[in-house]
Amino acid sequence: MIHTHFFIFNAFQQRCSLVWDDKGECAIIDPGFYDSQERDQLFGYIEQNKLHPVCIMLTHAHFDHISGMAEAAAKYDIPVYMDRADMIIMEEANVELCRSFGFRIPKGCGGENVDVCRYIYIKESDIIKVGDLRFEVISTPGHTPGGVCFLEREEKILFSGDTLFAGAIGRTDNRWGDYDALIGGILSKLMVLDGNIDVIPGHGPVTSIAREGMTNPFLLPFNEPFQDEN
């Protein structure tokens, strides 16, 4: 059985997700904590609930999703799963973005300081094992070159990062964005999933595949009624 707990971090209201199995084997998805107070929220919850982090999983590498990555990886001595295509985001885009928003560049997030973690590069259909949980990698580039979603098919939960939101999709006007790739991946890979799969986005409310398939205005004219086959 999957267990989850969500944190909302930094000025961009980014969702960091903790996921674990019945034994407490845990993954940290998008550790975007930015200051010591947010860091202590995450680490404190892990310790209070006697969880055992085994990895960090990145839906993409924008700085608001990875600003706590290096510190979390070092504390728990765990690897970081990411699509290699997003190294360009760490090496170049995050420096530009942090400067434009007046943010410091957190360790591991940009420029020459990105080589601080033990990276395991993932691709379409890879399986990341977290105890008894199995997260299938769905490659959905567009918001960034290496954007991915993580699907736990049996538990019917999808971590969509900044690919798909409640009533919206990821922006593609930043450098290295690709609208055609993003919308194509959403329609061909996400909207074909079971409608009762919960969608946990990187920002904003939780939703479902069915709700987005029926109502998301960015998916017009492809909205369709939901037919529960169960």
Residue 228 lies in a domain: no
pLDDT digits (tens), the chain, 230 positions: 999 999 999 999 999 999 999 999 999 999 999 999 999 999 999 999 999 999 999 999 999 999 999 999 999 999 999 999 999 999 888 988 888 888 888 888 877 677 889 999 999 999 999 999 999 999 999 999 999 999 999 999 999 999 999 999 999 998 899 999 999 999 999 999 999 999 999 999 999 999 999 999 999 876 666 666 55
Which residue is associated with the tokens 């990886």?
A: 73
CA angle 60, 150, 215 (to 5 degrees): 90
CA angle 135, 68, 155 (to 5 degrees): 20
The CA distance from 120 to 84, in Å, is 8
Residue 226 lies in a domain: no
What does pTM read for this prediction?
Answer: 0.94
Structure tokens at 46: 């892990």
**How many other C-beta atoms are found inside a 10 Å radius of the C-beta of residue 229?**
6
Q: Which domain holds residue 190?
A: 3-219
Residue 230 lies in a domain: no
CATH of the domain at 198: 3.60.15.10
Residue 175 lies in a domain: yes
3-state secondary structure the chain: CCEEEEEEECCCCEEEEEEECCCCEEEEECCCCCCHHHHHHHHHHHHHCCCEEEEEECCCCCHHHHCCHHHHHHHHCCCEEECHHHHHHHHHHHHHHHHHHCCCCCCCCCHHHCCCCCEEECCCCCEEEECCEEEEEEECCCCCCCCEEEEECCCCEEEEECCEECCEECCCCCCCCCHHHHHHHHHHHHCCCCCCCEEEECCCCCEEHHHHHHHCHHHCCCCCCCCCCC
What is the structure's pLDDT at 230?
56
All residues at 6 or more sequence positions from 204 whose CB lies less than 8 Å from its CB, including other chains: 13, 165, 166, 168
What is the structure's pLDDT at 88?
93
Residue 229 lies in a domain: no
CA gyration radius for the chain? 17
Structure tokens at 63: 């700085």
Domain count, the chain: 1
Residue 24 lies in a domain: yes
Residue 62 lies in a domain: yes
